[in-house]
Amino acid sequence: MAETNPSKTHNLRADGARLWATILETAAFGGTPAGGINRLTLSAEDGRVRDWFRDACEAAGLTVTVDALGTQYAVRPGRDMSRPPISFGSHLDTQPTGGKFDGVLGVLAGLEVMRSLNDAGLETEAPLMVVNWTNEEGSRFAPAMMASAAYAGDFTTDEILSKRDAAGITVAEALDAIGYRGAEDVGARAIGAFVELHIEQGPILEAEGKTIGVVEGGQGIMWFDGLITGFESHAGTTPMPRRRDALLALSEFALAAERIALAHAPSAVATIGEAQILAPSRNVVPGRVAFTVDVRDPRSPALDAMETSLREAATEIAERRRLEIALTRIWRKEPVPFDPAIVAAVDAAAESLGHARRRIISGAGHDACNLAAKVPTAMIFVPCKDGVSHNESESATPGDCAAGADVLLQTVLRLANAPRMEPPAR
Amino acid sequence: MAETNPSKTHNLRADGARLWATILETAAFGGTPAGGINRLTLSAEDGRVRDWFRDACEAAGLTVTVDALGTQYAVRPGRDMSRPPISFGSHLDTQPTGGKFDGVLGVLAGLEVMRSLNDAGLETEAPLMVVNWTNEEGSRFAPAMMASAAYAGDFTTDEILSKRDAAGITVAEALDAIGYRGAEDVGARAIGAFVELHIEQGPILEAEGKTIGVVEGGQGIMWFDGLITGFESHAGTTPMPRRRDALLALSEFALAAERIALAHAPSAVATIGEAQILAPSRNVVPGRVAFTVDVRDPRSPALDAMETSLREAATEIAERRRLEIALTRIWRKEPVPFDPAIVAAVDAAAESLGHARRRIISGAGHDACNLAAKVPTAMIFVPCKDGVSHNESESATPGDCAAGADVLLQTVLRLANAPRMEPPAR
């Protein structure tokens, strides 16, 4: 096989046109009239795109295996087969009204990396591996990102196999139905590093005119359930000062949550995504309102401070308005810092390619966030139109997709040809 | 029959114990386990309480007739039968989970007035009439207060007869089913004055320790439908400054509506009774919120000013938050001033009886508000516990009910024995 002289690799590029063609070709598996994809995990459509991916990988000379949760691993040999493979990929499942890029880009760009290296006749020191993780989206089976979580040891394989969809079908049954319950133990395969290319699913890169986001980590998340208990009363007969209006209390709390997030700018976000007046009526002062709060920041201490501030706001509002505000934290996920060496490799690759770039934090969850607990990991973001994702109108340009694949390729070459890394103590 | 020398009438009192007994007795027609009443208009239960009322009136020597919309009129002769009867009453229908007092008190106190006059052997100059208006509540057939509205000429009888309930049954069919489609033309019967005793359905009298509310009129009402159109986006990836969060816009608007009502204190009220995030999700920034606004004040210019202020607030919020707020007024009902002479008679009666009283505006709609357009009208309020109404827990004390009946009796005597009044020009 061919040589690895760096002077022969630094000008290597992915074939953006071929990548784009595979994106359009695979979009037909579950394609919707509106131009999106409905390809729920482990559905027949998911089975078909998995078959396509296996065949394409094998045609590129890769060795494809499947683990007990259906995750596909496609390996390209390296010169030193004792090194764990430098790995990359994402997921091929989609939301029920998903787009053509979320997850798909990362897997197909991974395939393109393999094809481009083949075209150039280049061998790497470490082997390479492209991965298609099962059920990133979580639309059919909860939790989302379940296969990567199981890989990282957050769940046992049996726990995941017994999860059921809304129709009562287990993950095990769904895997069997499409023939993707593999023999390989989940988490058994060593991974030297993991790099996930993904659309940003947010508006920052587009707004700032950047092509590449060098992702430094994933945010921490807190979810709260809230219930405001005031007093239902007649909209015509209850004077304003005597009201205990649960919606007005929610209004103040929502604006307080916005102020609290802005006080931790620019990284913090807080969202009241659900709010429901119980037994609403046009001429009744709302007595009870149930709501949710989603709070995120890449810094644990900021999460702590925001929780304290939210509780102080709730207490102040409840006392002043003579009602009760119950705020229950139902989930907290700590921030995920990506591996500095992998982040640096992404940054250097983007710089070498001359792409406008910025450091960024992933606002959404990704398989890479699970992997990071076990494997040196980072991500590459490219812009998506208007920040829209999880929508059939999700859109990214061929140029940005190609740029992301180029950065992935150059990152992978740097990592695979670098002196052997020891995993950091964790 | 007996004399009308005022010296013989000013000490006359209703029999509070007998009134209370009739309240408890008739509460059995549609009585609920929780102590309330489920007696929808023109239901079998409504038919039974109507029969009871007719029998009780006839036993008291009254002449009972029924009009084409089922309203019952029970007349006690006066010395001058050329005078239109001084009238009083309310309604015997209830909400599906209604209480024992809303409407019922006014009708049964009217019966008690008749019985007390019989006991005392007193005749009045003008005849007296107690009325049970059909469908005040509007729970089964819309609109509410339909019979009094038809009496006042707001609807034709045929319009009302053709209204249907949720099961498709017309008012005409429902009247026939219980035998209460009377022969008398709606609105044909002259009424000299109308006085309605009712529970306040609000907290003011109780809070201020007043027994009697001398009701000066009904509020004007405006109803609006609102729709805020921002942009749905990812709760994790959308920075706070880039959001177009429809719930935060609603929050600001709701607090603005509260401030606007308080700026017209103490009479104005504004309520967002319904608010719904469209397609809500815990981790999605709300893109669209539909809501309602209910605004009331006894002064037309205050309604005008509040509408202007609400629209200014909506415009300011929409511009600042880069979204759209559509505010559509779907209904406006002008304030109803009651007749000063009738209000003065109520006030004088309450004063003569030594009851703690205050002038008050009716926050809710009542049959009296419809009558006022055609007949010199006023109302008497008594307190209800915690201001709660339209609820099985609705509660009023025997003492307050008796006080209300006493004020009604003394008001009626003043009006019926006063020199003949000319109706004011309207």
* CA-wise closest residue to B243 among A254, A395, A225, A226: A254
* CA-wise closest residue to A407 among A218, A219, A215, A217: A215
> Nearest-CA distance from B107 to chain A in Å?
21
Q: What is the H or E stretch that residue B332 is in?
A: strand B324-333
**Bridge partner list, A229:** A288, A324
Quickly state the pLDDT bin for B3 (edges 50, 70, 90): very low
Check CB contact under 8 Å for A240 and B262: yes
**Bridge partner list, B88:** B130, B195
pLDDT tens digits, B251-308: 999 999 999 999 999 999 999 999 999 989 888 999 999 999 999 999 999 999 999 9
Q: Nearest residue on chain A to B278, judged by CA atoms? A: A274
Check CB contact under 8 Å for B236 and A296: yes
Local structure of residue B140 (DSSP, 8 states): S
- Shortest CB distance from B233 goes to which of A239, A276, A387? A387
- Shortest CB distance from A235 goes to which of B204, B273, B286? B273
pLDDT tens digits, B16-34: 999 999 999 999 999 999 9
Check CB contact under 8 Å for A236 and B274: no
pLDDT tens digits, A120-165: 999 999 999 999 999 999 989 988 999 999 999 999 999 999 999 9
- A383 lies within 8 A of chain B by CB: no
pLDDT tens digits, A40-61: 999 999 999 999 999 999 999 9
* CA-wise closest residue to A422 among A379, A375, A380: A375
pLDDT tens digits, A194-230: 999 999 999 999 999 999 999 999 999 999 999 999 9
> Nearest-CA distance from B364 to chain A in Å?
5
Half-sphere exposure for A305 (CA within 13 Å, toward CB): 15
Quickly state the pLDDT bin for B10 (edges 50, 70, 90): confident
Local structure of residue B359 (DSSP, 8 states): E
* CA-wise closest residue to B82 among B193, B184, B192: B192
Q: Nearest residue on chain B to A288, judged by CA atoms? A: B273
With vertex at residue B47, the alpha carbon angle to CA B44 and CA B50, rounded to the nearest 5 degrees, is: 155
Q: Do B180 and B47 contact (CB within 8 A), yes or no?
A: yes
Asked whether the predicted pLDDT for residue B157 surpasses 60, the reply is yes
| A94 vs A281: which has the higher pLDDT | A94
Asked whether the predicted pLDDT for residue B42 surpasses 70, the reply is yes
- B236 lies within 8 A of chain A by CB: yes
The pLDDT of residue A97 is: 87
The pLDDT of residue A426 is: 47
- Shortest CB distance from A240 goes to which of B238, B261, B276? B261
Q: Chain B contacts of A302, Cβ < 8 Å?
A: none
Residue A189 CB coordination number (10 Å)? 18
- B290 lies within 8 A of chain A by CB: no
- A278 lies within 8 A of chain B by CB: no
Check CB contact under 8 Å for B252 and A251: yes
Q: Chain B contacts of A282, Cβ < 8 Å?
A: 223, 273-274, 292, 294
Asked whether the predicted pLDDT for residue B1 surpasses 50, the reply is no
Residues 39-78 in B contacting A (C-alpha not used; CB under 8 Å): none
- A290 lies within 8 A of chain B by CB: no
* CA-wise closest residue to B180 among B44, B92, B322, B68: B68
Asked whether the predicted pLDDT for residue A114 surpasses 70, the reply is yes
- B390 lies within 8 A of chain A by CB: yes
Q: Report the share of chain B in percent with pLDDT over 90.
A: 90
Structure tokens at A123: 């061998």
Q: What is the mean pLDDT of residues B387-394?
A: 90
Quickly state the pLDDT bin for A274 (edges 50, 70, 90): very high
The pLDDT of residue B370 is: 96
Check CB contact under 8 Å for A365 and B296: no
What ipTM, to 2 d.p.? 0.86
The pLDDT of residue B97 is: 87
With vertex at residue B38, the alpha carbon angle to CA A242 and CA B217, rounded to the nearest 5 degrees, is: 45
Asked whether the predicted pLDDT for residue A317 surpasses 60, the reply is yes
Q: Nearest residue on chain B to A234, judged by CA atoms? A: B202
pLDDT tens digits, B76-94: 999 999 999 999 999 999 9
Residues 172-211 in B contacting A (C-alpha not used; CB under 8 Å): 200-204, 207
- B364 lies within 8 A of chain A by CB: yes
> Nearest-CA distance from A53 to chain B in Å?
29
The pLDDT of residue B426 is: 47
Asked whether the predicted pLDDT for residue A265 surpasses 50, the reply is yes
> Nearest-CA distance from B328 to chain A in Å?
14
Ordered domains of chain B (ranges, CATH)? 6-218+335-417 (3.40.630.10), 220-333 (3.30.70.360)
Looking at every residue in chain B, the average pLDDT score rounds to 95
> Nearest-CA distance from B256 to chain A in Å?
10
Q: Chain B contacts of A236, Cβ < 8 Å?
A: 202, 219, 221, 269, 294, 296, 362-365
> Nearest-CA distance from A121 to chain B in Å?
39
Looking at every residue in chain A, the average pLDDT score rounds to 95
Q: Do B269 and A238 contact (CB within 8 A), yes or no?
A: yes
* CA-wise closest residue to A117 among A283, A125, A307, A223: A125
Check CB contact under 8 Å for B284 and A273: yes
To test the contact with chain B by mutation, choose from A97, A101, A201, A282 the residue with the greatest count of B C-beta atoms within 10 A, namely A282
Q: Nearest residue on chain B to A366, judged by CA atoms? A: B236
Asked whether the predicted pLDDT for residue B421 surpasses 80, the reply is no
The pLDDT of residue A1 is: 40
The pLDDT of residue B281 is: 87
Q: What CA–CA distance (Å, rounded) separates A247 from A252?
A: 9
Q: What is the 3-state secondary structure (H, E, C) of chain A?
A: CCCCCHHHCCCCCCCHHHHHHHHHHHCCCCECCCCCECCCCCCHHHHHHHHHHHHHHHHCCCEEEEECCCCEEEEECCCCCCCCCEEEEECCCCCCCECCCCCHHHHHHHHHHHHHHHHHCCCCCCCEEEEECCCCCCCCCCCCCHHHHHHCCCCCHHHHHCCECCCCCEHHHHHHHHCCCCCECCCCCCCCEEEEEEECCCCHHHHHCCCEEEEEEECEEEEEEEEEECECEECCCCCHHHCECHHHHHHHHHHHHHHHHHHCCCCCEEECCCEEECCCCCCEECCEEEEEEEEEECCHHHHHHHHHHHHHHHHHHHHHHCCEEEEEEEEEECCEECCHHHHHHHHHHHHHHCCCEEEEEECCCCHHHHHCCCCCEEEEEECCHHHCCCCCCCCCCHHHHHHHHHHHHHHHHHHHHCCCCCCCCC
- Shortest CB distance from B247 goes to which of A202, A248, A272? A272
Q: Quick check: helix, strand or coil at residue B290? A: strand
pLDDT tens digits, A322-343: 999 999 999 898 999 999 999 9
Tracing tokens 């405006």 back to the chain, one arrives at: B222
Half-sphere exposure for A64 (CA within 13 Å, toward CB): 20
Check CB contact under 8 Å for B203 and A242: yes
* CA-wise closest residue to A208 among A306, A355, A101, A110: A355
- Shortest CB distance from B273 goes to which of A251, A271, A280? A280
Check CB contact under 8 Å for B387 and A235: no
- B32 lies within 8 A of chain A by CB: no
- A220 lies within 8 A of chain B by CB: no
Q: Quick check: helix, strand or coil at residue B419? A: coil
Asked whether the predicted pLDDT for residue A248 surpasses 90, the reply is yes
Q: Chain A contacts of B270, Cβ < 8 Å?
A: 240
The pLDDT of residue B338 is: 98
To test the contact with chain A by mutation, choose from B145, B198, B237 the residue with the greatest count of A C-beta atoms within 10 A, namely B237
Check CB contact under 8 Å for A200 and B254: no
Q: What CA–CA distance (Å, rounded) separates B105 from A401?
A: 75
The pLDDT of residue A419 is: 83
Instruction: Classify residue B209 as left (phi > 0), alpha (psi -120 to 50) or beta.
Output: left
- Shortest CB distance from A237 goes to which of B270, B285, B364? B364
- A143 lies within 8 A of chain B by CB: no
Residues 249-268 in A contacting B (C-alpha not used; CB under 8 Å): 250-252, 254-255, 258, 261-262, 265-266, 268
> Nearest-CA distance from B108 to chain A in Å?
23
Half-sphere exposure for A151 (CA within 13 Å, toward CB): 31
